[in-house]
Amino acid sequence: MVRGRITRLAVSDVRFPTSLGGHGSDAMHPDPDYSAAYVVIETDASDGLKGYGLTFTLGKGTEVVVCAVNALSSHVVNKDLEEIVSNFRGFYRELTSDGQLRWIGPEKGAVHLATAAVLNAVWDLWAKQEGKVMYLELNEILQNGLIGKKEREEQMLKHGYPAYTTSCAWLGYPDHDLPLIANVSRFKVKVGADLQDDIRRCRLIREMIGPDKTLMLDANQRWEVKEAIEWVTKLAEFKPLWIEEPTSPDDILGHAAISKALVPLGIGVATGEQCHNRVIFKQLLQAKALSYLQIDSCRLGSVNENLSVLLMAKKFQIPVCPHAGGVGLCELVQHLIIFDYISVSGSLENRMCEYVDHLHEHFRYPVVIKKASYVPPQDAGYSTEMKEDSARKYQFPQGEIWQKLLSKS
The single residue among 160, 162, 240, 249 that binds a second copy, judged by CB under 8 A, is 249
Q: Of the candidates 362, 349, 357, which has an alpha carbon nearest to the alpha carbon of residue 187?
A: 357
Min dist CB 337 to a second copy, Å, is: 22
Site string for a second copy, 86-115 (x = CB under 8 A): -----------xxxxxxxxxxxxxxxxx--
Q: What CA–CA distance (Å, rounded) separates 244 from 241?
A: 10
Judged by beta carbon, residue 99 or residue 174, the one nearer a second copy is: 99
DSSP 232-266: HHHTGGG-EEEEE--S-TT-HHHHHHHHHHHGGGT
Angle between helices 329-339 and 134-141 (to 10 degrees): 30
Rounded least distance, CB 116 to a second copy, Å: 12
How big is the CA angle at 114 (ends 162 and 11), to the nearest 5 degrees?
100
Output the smallest distance, CB 118 to a second copy, in A.
14
Site residues for a second copy, window 42-81 (CB under 8 A)?
56-61, 63-65, 67-68, 71
Range in contact with a second copy (rule: CB under 8 A) among 133-141, 199-207, 261-269, 278-286: 278-286
CA distance 110 to 278: 16
CB of 65 to a second copy, least distance (A): 6
Q: How far apart are CA 299 and CA 358, in angstroms?
A: 20
Under the binding rule (CB under 8 A), the answer on residue 308 touching a second copy is no
**Closer CB to a second copy, 73 or 139, in the complex:** 73
String of contacts with a second copy for each residue 195-224, x by CB under 8 A? --------------------------x---
The rounded distance, in Å, linking the Cα atoms of 295 and 363 is 21
Q: Shortest distance, CB of residue 247 to a second copy, whole angstroms?
A: 9
190 given a catalytic annotation: yes
Shortest distance, position 224 Cβ to a second copy, whole Å: 11
Judge whether 323 counts as a catalytic residue: yes
279 forms part of the interface with a second copy (CB under 8 A) = yes
Catalytic residue among 75, 128, 255, 323: 323
As a whole number of angstroms, the distance between CA 230 and CA 315 comes to 32
**Neighbouring C-alpha atoms within 13 Å toward the C-beta of 377:** 28
Residues present in the chain in total: 409
Interface of this chain with a second copy, residues 4 to 43, rule: CB under 8 A: 28-33
DSSP state letters, 331-387: HHHHHHHHHIIIIII---TT--EEE--SSGGGBSS--EEETTEEEPP-SSB-S-PBP
Q: Does 246 bind a second copy (CB under 8 A)?
A: no
Identify which of residues 107 and 340 has a Cβ nearer to a second copy in the complex.
107
What is d(CA 115, CA 326) in angstroms, rounded to the nearest whole number? 18
| 190, 255, 314, 362: the active-site residue | 190
Task: Say how far apart CA 50 and CA 299 lie, in whole Å.
Answer: 22
CB nearer to a second copy: pick between 162 and 322: 322
Before 377, cis peptide (omega within 30)? no
- The CB-of-114 to a second copy minimum distance in angstroms stands at 8
Residues forming contacts to a second copy in the complex (CB under 8 A) are 28-33, 56-61, 63-65, 67-68, 71, 97-113, 221, 248-254, 274, 276-277, 279-280, 282-283, 286-287
Show which residues are catalytic: 190, 323
